[in-house]
Structure 1
Amino acid sequence: MSEVTFAVLDVVPETYAVTPVLTARIGIATDGDEPVHAIALRCQVRIEPLRRGYTDDEAAGLLDLFGPRERWGTTQHNFLWQHSTTMVPGFTGTTQVDLPLECTYDFEVTAAKYFHALRDGMIPLQFLFSGTVFTKGKTNFSVQQVPWDREDHFDLPVSAWHDLMQLHYPNTGWLRLTRDTLEALARFKSGRGLLSFDDAITSLLTIHTAQEVR
């Protein structure tokens, strides 16, 4: 079977999706003229934090993930963002396919916390490809696995992720709380006659700040 290679050509926001999604455009090529019937493509997408620098503001936002700067030499490692799959239709020679990358604004998710902390520049991504290639065999189908060493790197503009979040969650974000905490916050909100949970949390922060000043 011909060798199959993969390259990340672009990653762009999916403007009209119901939920936040980035679309990676993947270029696929073979080194021969043998037709490929289909590819059941899998991809592991990882973040490579060591491939970029960070401002002091960004470092403060990354404190929960990596600790202070002096520890980054031992705490900053590549980490998983997500797994994605797609079916590649039949082709000969070269083709392109869209790979969906689902995003979240949940700060309990490591990748979202990392993305949110970045102010400018690029998000360094690593794409590790795997899957099953279907080609014509002597009898009917020939099946072969994508070689384990197929990978590519891509620098996603930080602005692309922030623009996507702004599109789906304008001037808002997500905060996951336990049910008991939500119920207590709801009682506080109702007892103070506040209109929203945002107002309740702002009020609590004001109270806390005033106590610290004392």
Structure 2
Amino acid sequence: MVDLDFRIDDVKVEKYSAAPLLLFALHVVNKTPDLPVLNVMLNCQIRIEPVRRRYDGDEHDRLSDLFGHPSRWGETMRSFLWTHASVSVPAVNAERMIDLPAPCSYDFNIAATKYFHGLEQGDVPLHFLFSGSIFYRDSEGRLQIEQVAWSKECAYRLPLSVWRAMMEHYYPQSMWLCLHRDAFDDLDRYRRRQGLPTFERALRALLEANAAEAT
């Protein structure tokens, strides 16, 4: 029976993708080197573990949208899914290093994006859960297929600076905001009637008008 271990050693931004992408340096170790691994079709669920770090300053307010008032975080703060990743791992004799590509979203309707944006500094505790199929040859040279054990997992602390650098690379000086179609149509109508060139100018005009009414 093949026994593989996995750990994350590093992370970097993929700068030439069509959408935001992080590359995690995945270290695969074959603990049964007498059974040559030909290939691994590896899947990974990446979860965020918010209870594994401290929060200070404005983070309490900015994360209230996700977890409620800080006094309730002991009940409301739970592990949640960030993204899924998959990769085809080439032959593994003793060990192998390979990039694990993790697609990322800047959609603020997604909990993970709100979480990343709510942090001021530090890192993000991640939990990697592995699954997939292992193709190898047994002691008699016969091709075998085996599933990655469900117990295979590892932890990694993603520097917040890496996530911010990725989003700045793909969306420089920009933020993404998703609107319901009716709200978008109303905003577009207002923009055209006011003769404003961009949606940002329309939003600023509305905010300034609201601020003036409040004073």
Q: Structures share a fold, TM > 0.5?
A: yes
* Residue number in structure 1 paired with 2:54: 53
Gaps of 5+ in 2: none
**Structure 2 residue 191 is the aligned partner of structure 1 residue 157:** no
Residue deviations 1:137-156 (CA, integer Å, cap 9, x gap): 45731111111111111011
Residue deviations 1:100-142 (CA, integer Å, cap 9, x gap): 1111111001101100111110011000111111111457311
Name the count of aligned residue pairs: 213
* Residue number in structure 2 paired with 1:102: 103
SS of the residue 2:58 aligns to: helix
* Residue number in structure 1 paired with 2:88: 87
Matches within 5 A, 1:11-30: 11-30=11-30
* Residue number in structure 1 paired with 2:43: 42
User: Cα distance, 1:18 vs. partner?
Assistant: 2.4
SS of the residue 1:56 aligns to: coil
Matches within 5 A, 1:53-202: 53-137=54-138, 138=140, 140-202=142-204
User: Cα distance, 1:97 vs. partner?
Assistant: 1.5
Of stretches 130-139 and 99-108 in structure 1, the one that deviates more from structure 2 is: 130-139
Identity of counterpart residues, as a percentage? 39
Which of 184, 206, 214 is the matching residue for 1:204? Answer: 206
User: Cα distance, 1:56 vs. partner?
Assistant: 2.3
Q: Which amino acid aligns with 2:151?
A: D
Gaps of 5+ in 1: none
TM-score, normalised on structure 2?
A: 0.95
TM-score, normalised on structure 1?
A: 0.96
Residue deviations 1:130-184 (CA, integer Å, cap 9, x gap): 1111111457311111111111110111011111111111111100011111111
Q: Which amino acid aligns with 1:107?
A: F
Is contact 2:30–2:92 with CA below 8 Å preserved after alignment?
no
Residue deviations 1:49-100 (CA, integer Å, cap 9, x gap): 0111112211211111001110100000000011111111112110011111
Matches of 1:32 and 1:172, distance apart in 2? 49
* Residue number in structure 1 paired with 2:5: 5
Q: CA RMSD in A?
A: 1.2
Matches of 2:108 and 2:22, distance apart in 1? 18
